Amino acid sequence: MSDFLVVGGGVIGMMTTLQLADAGHSVTLLERGQCGREASWAGGGIVSPLYPWRYSAPISRLSTWSEGFYPELALRLLEETGIDPEYRQKGLLYLRVDDEARAMDWAREVGKPLERVSADFLYAKEPEAAPGCREALWMPTLGSIRNPRLTRALRRRLVEMGRVSLREGSEVTGLRLAGGRVSGVETTAGIVGGEQVIVCGGAWAAGLLAPLGVALPVRPVKGQMILFKAPPGLVSRVVLMDGRYVIPRADGRVLAGSTLEEAGFDKSVSGEARKSLWHSATRIVPALAECEVEHHWAGLRPGSPDGVPFIGALPGIDNLHVNAGHYRNGLVLAPASTRLLVDELLGREPIVDPAPYRLAGRLPA
Ligand SMILES: Cc1cc2nc3c(=O)[nH]c(=O)nc-3n(C[C@H](O)[C@H](O)[C@H](O)COP(=O)(O)OP(=O)(O)OC[C@H]3O[C@@H](n4cnc5c(N)ncnc54)[C@H](O)[C@@H]3O)c2cc1C
């Protein structure tokens, strides 16, 4: 029996497994499909909430910690796996922000570089950006990660770690309780045991806990994205306008996102969303209209009521823990949120106050 049993191999489950194994523990990771193929693959990889000043302090705290940690993590994964997660810190340009004063107050308060820049500055940085802007907001320290490569690198690292048993194609179908503890996890590949069980099932986390009578308020929120086959250099940094964004990859490709849809567990893509994303993207960078749309996909974000993830022990069950509900920010929050739970599991000093993320008091009666 492993020391820890992690359910769900998205970015949250894999980073949790990595840290527990780093600390010398045996870990079994159960993933229904292949690790890193759900929301953690489908996301954009901006290493910040989109308009960070509009988020609550608990989200800011985790994202600030993670932003500081990403360069080190990306370097480590590149060295250990040969896969470059393409962490690039090229800054972000905000066009047409209507709550600039609030943004500037927030930046001063948290000590984040953010400045109002002129049109000359904007077009020197991004010559193809929407014409006619008189100014922009510029966040020079913002980074982005190529999340499909991040998850591939994490998976490869875990496969190579002797203390990790990575079981893909193992769907968890139930949690067995005995004496106030999880005594075993039922899977399509048989019963699996673990001293401590951690549910990291993303948008599916609530379904895993429902049979125990726990109503975790995490729901799927569909997001569609399109990918342009753009020439290298057409877009160099993340540009955000009217809630939509373009994200360049190192090979020139440009992602444009994203929709927010309450559609249950449906992951189908629609022509309407594709058109809407195309219009937004070509307003941000008109030259994208000349580029082929190479790919169009949808993913399910683990939506929580206020976007604050649920991190910690499940009240009433001795050895069951949860880390889910990162909504639109799971890629940026992952390093900090997984570290916070691992700190708690291993009895270490937590990186931030765990209180706002705990389940106790946040579950419906
Ligand atoms: C379009 C879009 C754009 C986004 N952009 C960004 C961004 O720019 N920046 C950012 O920070 N975040 C972004 N996100 C959000 C981010 O992708 C998610 O918050 C994050 O990936 C959630 O990670 P997770 O590990 O909790 O979930 P997932 O990656 O969904 O992983 C959950 C895993 O659990 C497995 N699982 C579920 N049920 C079971 C079961 N019964 N048994 C075994 N395994 C199971 C699933 O197969 C899956 O692999 C975006 C999301 C979308 C959809």
122: CA distance to ligand 1 center in Å? 33
Does any ligand 1 atom lie closer than 6 A to the CB of residue 244? no
Superfamily of chain region 2-53+148-217+305-346: FAD/NAD(P)-binding domain (3.50.50.60)
pLDDT single digits (tens) 24-65: 999 999 999 999 999 999 999 999 999 999 999 999 999 999
Ligand 1 atom with the smallest distance to the CA of 326 is: 19
Rounded Cα distance between 330 and 43, Å, is 9
Superfamily of chain region 92-140+220-303: D-Amino Acid Oxidase, subunit A, domain 2 (3.30.9.10)
Phi and psi dihedrals of 359, rounded to 5? -80, -35
Q: What is the mean pLDDT of residues 297-301?
A: 98
Q: Tokens in use for 75?
A: 């370097």
Rounded Cα distance between 230 and 253, Å, is 5
All structural domains of the chain with their residue ranges: 2-53+148-217+305-346, 92-140+220-303
Task: Name the residue among 327, 253, 254 with its Cα closest to residue 245.
Answer: 254
Ligand 1 atom with the smallest distance to the CA of 328 is: 15
364 confidence band (pLDDT: 50, 70, 90):
confident
Q: What is the mean pLDDT of residues 11-34?
A: 98
pLDDT single digits (tens) 152-203: 999 999 999 999 999 999 999 999 999 999 999 999 999 999 999 999 999 9
54: CA distance to ligand 1 center in Å? 22
Rounded Cα distance between 34 and 304, Å, is 24
Does any ligand 1 atom lie closer than 6 A to the CB of residue 67? no
Report the share of the chain in percent with pLDDT over 90: 98
Nearest CA to ligand 1 atom 26: 202
Quickly count helices (H) and strands (E) in the chain. 9, 17
Does residue 299 have a pLDDT over 90?
yes
Residue 19: per-residue pLDDT: 98
Ligand 1 atom with the smallest distance to the CA of 201 is: 34
Q: What is the mean pLDDT of the chain?
A: 97
Does any ligand 1 atom lie closer than 6 A to the CB of residue 338? no
Does any ligand 1 atom lie closer than 6 A to the CB of residue 303? no
What is this structure's pTM?
Answer: 0.98
Contact 204, 325 (CB under 8 A): no
Nearest CA to ligand 1 atom 30: 39
Q: Indicate the top mutation candidate among 28, 30, 38 to test ligand 1's pocket, ranked by most ligand atoms within 8 A of CB.
A: 38
DSSP symbols for 9-53: -SHHHHHHHHHHHHTT--EEEEESSSTT-SHHHHS--BSS-SSGG
Does any ligand 1 atom lie closer than 6 A to the CB of residue 146? no
Does residue 279 have a pLDDT over 90?
yes
38: CA distance to ligand 1 center in Å? 5
Does residue 288 have a pLDDT over 80?
yes
Q: Please state, as a whole number, how many other Cβ atoms lie within 10 Å of the Cβ of residue 164.
A: 23
Contact 265, 300 (CB under 8 A): yes
Alpha carbon of 67 to those of 47, 75, 248, 302: distances in Å? 6, 14, 18, 21
Q: Tokens in use for 243?
A: 């809630």
